[in-house]
Amino acid sequence: QLQLQQSGPGLVKPSQTLSLTCAISGDSVSTNSAAWNWIRQSPSRGLEWLGRTYYRSKWYNDYAVSVRSRITINPDTSKNQFSLQLNSVTPEDTAVYYCAREEIVATSAIDYWGQGTLVTVSS
Amino acid sequence: EVVLTQSPGTLSLSPGERATLSCRASQSVSSGYLAWYQQKPGQAPRLLIYGASSRATGIPDRFSGSGSGTDFTLTISRLEPEDFAVYYCHLRITFGQGTRLEIK
């Protein structure tokens, strides 16, 4: 059974960097049949896709236009996990952050989600 | 970028009734990427339907999806108490704003 376990701080100061990690069990971050996503949810923005990383003979990243200048998603094959870094955060970045698997071959949908991490941006 | 608009915003029904939720895309889209999710308070969304009409593993057959082009529908044939939740449609990088299904 695939599981995604998120870790990282729940409180980040304005202008600093938000960092979260998603550990994968039951699949490989290097698989050719999935992409690994970060999605956030807030009352004001609803569900907002932030970006993804995936491996197709080499590593690729896609990022949402709204955060493209501030976001980095990196795979870590040695630990079978992937991470999110969001720079220069403001209170508008306060949200529940989810990591999620997008299965490419059978469903083309997000079929597994992490447990979610509430990140509050406040001094 | 495609915009997904869900209606109604809130749907009030009783257990045993039929629920029909709508998702409209701002332009014609491939139904192969249209998915529906259910979310309960404090939980991550759960995949219900993918490819517009295929049920995900373990999803009861009272849930069905249909549609093509710009108009998609999630139908719950007979509501069970556990079905009252928020439902989202999703296409690639875009989510709808959700429909809250509440007990009447």
- Optimal mutation site among B95, B97, B99, B100, interface A, most CBs of chain A within 10 A: B95
- When pLDDT is averaged across residues A105-109 and rounded to a whole number, the result is 92
- When pLDDT is averaged across residues B6-29 and rounded to a whole number, the result is 98
- When pLDDT is averaged across residues A63-71 and rounded to a whole number, the result is 97
Which residues of chain B neighbour A110 with C-beta distances below 8 Å?
35, 37, 45, 47, 90
CA–CA gap between residue A56 and residue A37 (Å, rounded) = 15
- Optimal mutation site among A108, A111, A115, A117, interface B, most CBs of chain B within 10 A: A108
- Local confidence band at A33 (pLDDT 50, 70, 90 cut-offs): very high
Chain A's closest residue to B54, CA to CA, is: A107
At B57 the pLDDT is: 95
Residue in A47, A62, A116 nearest the CB of B88: A47
Length of chain A: 123
Q: What is the pLDDT of residues A13-30, one digit of tens each?
A: 999 999 999 999 999 999
Which residues of chain A neighbour B45 with C-beta distances below 8 Å?
47, 110, 113
The strand pair at A11-12 and A117-121 is best described as parallel
Which residues of chain A neighbour B93 with C-beta distances below 8 Å?
49, 62, 64
Reading the block at residue A70, the tokens are 């501030």
Mean pLDDT of chain B: 97
What lies within 8 Å, CB to CB, of A52 at 6+ separation is A35, A36, A37, A38, A61, A62, A73, A102
- Local confidence band at A82 (pLDDT 50, 70, 90 cut-offs): very high
Q: Which one-letter amino acid corresponds to residue A79? A: K
Reading the block at residue A66, the tokens are 């709204």
At A112 the pLDDT is: 98
Q: Do residues A96 and B44 make contact, with C-beta atoms less than 8 angstroms apart?
A: no
Buried b (16+ CB within 10 A) or exposed e, B34-57: bbbbbbeeeebbbbbbbbbbbbbe
Interface of B with A (CB under 8 A): 1, 32-33, 35, 37, 44-47, 50-51, 54, 56, 88, 90, 93-95, 97-98
Q: What is the pLDDT of residues B48-94, one digit of tens each?
A: 999 999 999 999 999 999 999 999 999 999 999 999 999 999 999 99
Local structure of A91: helix, strand or coil: helix
CA–CA gap between residue B90 and residue B48 (Å, rounded) = 11
